[in-house]
Amino acid sequence: MSQFQFELHHRDASTMARRGVFLTPHGPVQTPGFMPVGTQGTVKGLTIDQVAATGAHMILGNTYHLALRPGHQTVRKLGGLHGMSGWEGPILTDSGGFQIFSLDSINEVTEEAATFRSHIDGAIIRLTPEHSIEIQESLGSDVAMVLDHVVALPAPDDQVEAAMARSIRWAKRCLEAANRPQQALFAIVQGGLNEALRVQCATELAAMNFTGYAVGGLSVGEAPSEMYRITAATTPALPELKPRYLMGVGRPVDLLESVARGIDLFDCVMPTRNGRNGLAFTDQGPLKLRNAIHREDTNPIDPSCPCLACRHSRGYLRHLFNAGEMLGPILLSHHNLTYYQKIMAEARLAIEQNRFETYLRERKIGWGME
């Protein structure tokens, strides 16, 4: 029997939202779920215990960055990502495919490989699908992602189709290269903003029987409505009894809108990046703690929130940011990750109770979006 199992417990009555559990060797992941991003083997600014206290079940690491520094063989000798970081729960690693998009000024893509110049020292890095899997096996993550070809949007249809077809061929190569039973492999659906290409890609990848499936190449500058349209068109073409992961998304509203369209897993740097810049997510919308209105405010961000930041006043948090104290970004990162886990927990309960559509509307009203 596989060490990985996806249990689909309930489908919401009025949306495509699903309530499930993804079982891994390092424990269960409740879905819908959000994975904090730990690019360099750490969720920036937080200890592992602090990350766990937010309610996170699974975290994400970055293959490209860890391969550069400290090097995947070094990570392996330090006990893999689990041993090195001290995180005892499940870990997912991306493949380096996003860097094909984000570092496009310093890379070249051929059928065989993507070739990069390191953003650290300019050294040449050649990343094939096989090497991406080798790196991720050294990292020891529970879930490895196939190497895919991401293109910036908008793009000509022929360019999008060529990248999609290459992504399918690379997925097959990754599947053939993988030989670590304790590591699941997720495929990535590409196809830009073309619904037909997305369905074609999803159908071909589904036939290869991966453990899970991701929707990639979105949240790269297109309008949210376009992301929602493509997600809604793609998920029905994916296997129902496999987890579905929307990569790199996003705002709280994007998470909930995508849950309504059948997505189970998410990751994004937004909660920690915004936290480092003084913005807190709340049920009433974003709160900019640097603003003068908070100067003498004795209230916490949210009196019902159990995070580290909400033990303090808004006035104190504003002071920390204005004084350049590192505690400010730490506290707000902890708050935002706790908030993301809160809305995921609320979403799971709403699905179980067949009221997800009502829950989404309530949240959007609170955020000032309806």
Which residues contact residue 20 at a Cβ distance below 8 angstroms, ignoring those fewer than 6 apart?
A: 6, 7, 8, 9, 31, 243, 264
Q: Of the listed 94, 148, 254, 302, which one is catalytic? A: 94
302 is catalytic: no
- Secondary structure of the chain as H, E, C letters: CCCCEEEEEEECCCCCCEEEEEEECCEEEEECEEEEECCCCCCCCCCHHHHHHCCCCCEEEEHHHHHHCCCHHHHHHCCHHHHHHCCCCCEEEECCHHHHHHCHHHEEECCCCEEEECCCCCCEEEECHHHHHHHHHHHCCCEEECCCCCCCCCCCHHHHHHHHHHHHHHHHHHHHHCCCCCCEEEEEECCCCCHHHHHHHHHHHHCCCCCEEEECCCCCCCCHHHHHHHHHHHHHHCCCCCCEEECCECCHHHHHHHHCCCCCEEEECHHHHHHHCCEECCCCCCEECCCHHHCCCCCCCCCCCCCCHHHCCHHHHHHHHHCCCCHHHHHHHHHHHHHHHHHHHHHHHHHHCCCHHHHHHHHHHHCCCC
267 is catalytic: yes
Q: Of the listed 12, 142, 148, 267, which one is catalytic? A: 267
Q: Alpha-carbon distance 298 to 301, whole Å?
A: 10
| Neighbouring-strand partners of residue 124 | 117
Question: So which residues are the catalytic ones?
Answer: 94, 267
